[in-house]
Structure 1
Amino acid sequence: MRLENLRQLPSVDGRAPRVALLVYNDFSVDTRVLKTAYSYAAAGAQVRVVAFGTFEGMEPGLTVLDGGIEVERLPLVELDHTLPRLGSTARQVVARARGALRRGSRGSATAGPTAPTTSDARSEATAQTRNPQDGDLGPSAGSTTHGTPRSTPAVPAGLKARVVGLWMRMHYTVRLGSFQLRAVRSLRRWRPDLVHANDADTLLPAWLAGRSLGTPYIFDAHEIWTARVKTGSRPVARRWEAWVEKRLAPRASGVTTVSGSIVDWLHRELRLAAAPTLVRNVPVGPAPVVSDPAATGRLRELAGLGADTRVVAYCGAVTINRGIEQTLDALELLDPSTHLVLLGRGSQAYRAVLDARVAAAGLEDRVHFVGIVPSDEVPATLRDADASVIFSRPVTLNQRFSLPNKLFESIHAGLPVAASDLPDIASVVSATGAGQVFDIDDAQTTADAIAAVIADAGTYRAASAAAARTLTWQNEVDGLLRLAVAALERPGRS
């Protein structure tokens, strides 16, 4: 990633400042954190990303990216690996309770619901903790039930939920706690001059390390933390998360976030002394000037479509609450030559739901799933579409206030956009003139907006191309670098 002409950070004791970025993931697909790391490096810093490694994913250890950026992945304490007997005990509780019920009900002619097996308990334990936005529909959707005969009573749902829920809460609490503890130790060893905390689950280690080292930290809120979609009841966790964020965010040297509405919410709810700095998650610029988009894009090739079809692009995760079902409703109302091409991936369970929906509507020949491409290739891939649909359903506050990457990627692709009429999305569409917005609850207005931007594609393409010249990561990140300069120059910093 090449970033030039960025604001430069001041030296510390005659050397390049050390900046550590904390992120609670494996740093394999987090494009915002990647761009932030490269921005600090281009601004003259020595950069280290502190993430986690897992048994199944990116391995723990220290690696170095192009440009000299270090990535330290910390091992996590995984109860399934360190205490396998404890995990199996939780599942045995369910099995034994089921056996007791069987013995007590022999001879009964009353038919009961199918009882899940131990393997079902494991699959439900996994489903209980997955984020629905990541494509998981919960334990009842898209899964196969391997049950006993219907005459066998099931384990009481309350008992099973408590056992599984307790185990998973323990698992994820220990996992996060082990990361935070090891992150503090890592920071104390490396002794950064500035810590960049990505999201509220890294605030605590940033603050703890900062106290012992005299190191300031910047809090980058990618979303409203307490408004995330999470399955199950989490009253203690929610209170703890809210307590940490409300006490530690105001102590940060600066706060950044991703949309104007979240700026206002954080300023008000966290009682920050100053409004957070807006750093939208836009692509690195400049966007190339393309005279013939159809000759450079790849979406039609991936979908096997010719120039005689109209292509509406959907870009992003193929999962719930992204308006895909509503877009299919709108597609039914559009000219039969209009096709929907989805660039992204999702769970097999949700894909099965969509396939059934597509088949029921008779749209099998007009809906195409083409998988993923590297994130930096998305705008170029989209370029030969006729329009891009940006659909977000405001199920949570984060979704209502969202500014999805795909909006800016579509603008960088030079596409007309048809987008949900939500505050921050509508603001960008209106300011750029790149498209039209629609009522998310009305398939006809959605279809009308798509048809309108395709019909006047020249006007909207020109507007997108003009907006892409200034909507660049280099322009957005300057606000963050201003905060970093102020933090490093703060009197009595160390």
Structure 2
Amino acid sequence: MKVLMLVQSPVAGDSRVLREAATLTAEGHSVHIVGRDVPDGFDPGEGVTVESVSRSRGMRPPGTPRGVGVAVRTSSGPWTTLRRAARWLLLPEHRERTERHWRDDAAKLLAGRPAPDVVHAHDYNTLALGAELAGRWHARLVYDSHELWFDRGLPGRPTPLARWRGRRTETRLAARARVVLTVSEGIAVRLRRRGLRDVRLLRNTFPLDGHEPPDLPATPAGLAYAGRIGPGRDLEAVAGAAAALAPLRTVVAGPADPGYRLDAPGVEVLPPMSLAEVDRLYQDVGVAVVTLTDTCLNHRLALPNKLFHAVRAGVPVVAANLPELHAVVLRYGLGRLYQPGDASSLATAVRAVAADYTEHVEAVRKARSELSWEHDSRVLADVYADLEAA
């Protein structure tokens, strides 16, 4: 079948979207992705084509630093306070405006194109366009909910009424989908409670590619976080635990949110890495940390891809003690849990993993085949087989 994927995230860095596209092309389908911020020359994989639609730059003031690890002087005073208050007040409308701008431009880009067989909408901010196009083209609609969208913790003023309306709109539009995919059983349960009939679990696991991880030393050399560097990731707890865990290394690697600084003593801050480079980082230090703040329902129900990347690399984890993470980590014996926001708890969990390191490594490697994309991709292949048969 011909599949059109819609996604507002930067495609080159969205491993879930690219894994799904690769799986579908391996099943004989063709995939065209309309995404955002696709770099020149980017190769999405054999059988996959991609186009980019830009969004507005955002509300970042000109000159705001993007780097990490450097102290930045910021102005203070009444005008600065006023600007911050205005930003806090206007952020929700700005987010909606930029997302709507992308949908409008994507619709113009696709006008007059041949109809696909399936429109695959990634996340709520593409769902309205996906439902509109699927109806116009008489195509099948798939809704891929990467998050519990209206239960995320977002900067800016609270918008309870808009969130309530958004959930109702999401449910109405998602009901048009033949299948709804999501990333954790906790989110799937809540979507089913809204009356969505066919909700299937497609976790953010990683392909093993037939490779066995290397043997690890009897004790870890440190811990590493690899992912977005910004608020909501509980990196303050990682920084706070670093001194207590010395001489163990504490490494943080990834792209930094504008203006976010992580310059704590004892923390090595590294730039973004490829998947293979993260594998090697995890294996070099020995423990992966999967951190999230306990600040919203979406975090409590999340299963971050960092967890499954650690499993792919064959290393134990220290993960935030949130319901979905709690269930998976303890079920498979992947490591230990810590209380979000508590640096002392995180340090204690790292020491506990180090004390039983060999046993945790064995448990992770025993779970690799079940917690892999080779296992979970069959869910996606079966979804599309059902659509084709229908």
Q: Distance in 2 between matches of 1:339 and 1:145?
A: 34
Q: Distance in 2 between matches of 1:181 and 1:160?
A: 29
Counterpart of 1:455 in structure 2 is 355
- The question of whether the paired residues in 2 share the 8 Å contact of 1:31 and 1:375 is answered with no
Q: Distance in 1 between matches of 2:50 and 2:32?
A: 6
Q: Distance in 2 between matches of 1:155 and 1:342?
A: 30
Q: Distance in 2 between matches of 1:440 and 1:45?
A: 42
Counterpart of 1:229 in structure 2 is 153
- The question of whether the paired residues in 1 share the 8 Å contact of 2:118 and 2:141 is answered with yes
**CA drift at 1:436:** 1.8
Counterpart of 1:339 in structure 2 is 249
SS in 2 for 1:190: coil
User: Structure 1, residues 419-441: CA drift from partner, whole Å, max 9, x if none?
Assistant: 22211111111122121223335
Distance 1:225 1:348, change over 3 A: closer
Q: Distance in 1 between matches of 2:282 and 2:317?
A: 12
Distance 1:330 1:182, change over 3 A: closer
Counterpart of 1:361 in structure 2 is none
Is residue 327 from structure 1 mapped to residue 251 from structure 2 by the alignment? no
Q: Distance in 2 between matches of 1:135 and 1:424?
A: 32
SS in 1 for 2:102: helix
284-293 vs 409-418, which deviates more?
284-293
**CA drift at 1:291:** 4.5
Is residue 144 from structure 1 mapped to residue 74 from structure 2 by the alignment? yes
SS in 2 for 1:462: helix
- Which of 123, 131, 140 is 1:216 aligned to? 140
Rg comparison, structure with higher value: 1
- The question of whether the paired residues in 2 share the 8 Å contact of 1:200 and 1:241 is answered with no
How many residue pairs get matched?
385
Counterpart of 2:317 in structure 1 is 417
Letter in 1 for 2:255: R
Q: TM-score, normalised on structure 2?
A: 0.86
Equivalent residues in 2 for 1:66-465, closer than 5 Å:
66-74=45-53, 78=56, 144-145=74-75, 157=82, 172-185=95-108, 186=110, 189-233=113-157, 234=159, 237-238=162-163, 241-268=166-193, 270-274=194-198, 276-286=199-209, 288-293=211-216, 310-334=221-245, 336-347=246-257, 349-351=259-261, 354-355=262-263, 358=264, 364=265, 366-440=266-340, 442-465=342-365
Letter in 1 for 2:140: P
- The question of whether the paired residues in 1 share the 8 Å contact of 2:220 and 2:357 is answered with no
- The question of whether the paired residues in 2 share the 8 Å contact of 1:218 and 1:484 is answered with no
- The question of whether the paired residues in 2 share the 8 Å contact of 1:309 and 1:337 is answered with no
Counterpart of 1:99 in structure 2 is none
SS in 1 for 2:155: coil
User: Structure 1, residues 331-361: CA drift from partner, whole Å, max 9, x if none?
Assistant: 4433x3222112223246332xx32xx3xxx
Letter in 1 for 2:17: V
Counterpart of 2:14 in structure 1 is 30
Superposition RMSD in Å: 3.4
Letter in 1 for 2:153: V
**CA drift at 1:486:** 1.7
387-396 vs 211-220, which deviates more?
387-396
SS in 2 for 1:448: helix
**CA drift at 1:390:** 2.1
What percentage of aligned pairs have identical amino acids?
29
User: Structure 1, residues 170-189: CA drift from partner, whole Å, max 9, x if none?
Assistant: 76555433432343451751
Counterpart of 1:297 in structure 2 is none
Distance 1:197 1:458, change over 3 A: same
User: Structure 1, residues 228-252: CA drift from partner, whole Å, max 9, x if none?
Assistant: 2333345675455333202011121
- The question of whether the paired residues in 2 share the 8 Å contact of 1:22 and 1:198 is answered with yes
Q: Distance in 2 between matches of 1:429 and 1:442?
A: 19
User: Structure 1, residues 352-398: CA drift from partner, whole Å, max 9, x if none?
Assistant: xx32xx3xxxxx3x321122211344223311223222222211111
**CA drift at 1:30:** 0.9
282-291 vs 479-488, which deviates more?
282-291
Distance 1:337 1:440, change over 3 A: same
User: Structure 1, residues 126-173: CA drift from partner, whole Å, max 9, x if none?
Assistant: 99xxxxxx999xxxx9662276xxxxx75994x99569956x777655
**CA drift at 1:70:** 0.8
188-197 vs 378-387, which deviates more?
378-387
User: Structure 1, residues 181-224: CA drift from partner, whole Å, max 9, x if none?
Assistant: 34345175131001111001111111111112111111000001
SS in 2 for 1:247: helix
Q: TM-score, normalised on structure 1?
A: 0.69
- The question of whether the paired residues in 1 share the 8 Å contact of 2:369 and 2:375 is answered with no
Q: Distance in 2 between matches of 1:315 and 1:326?
A: 15
Distance 1:467 1:188, change over 3 A: farther
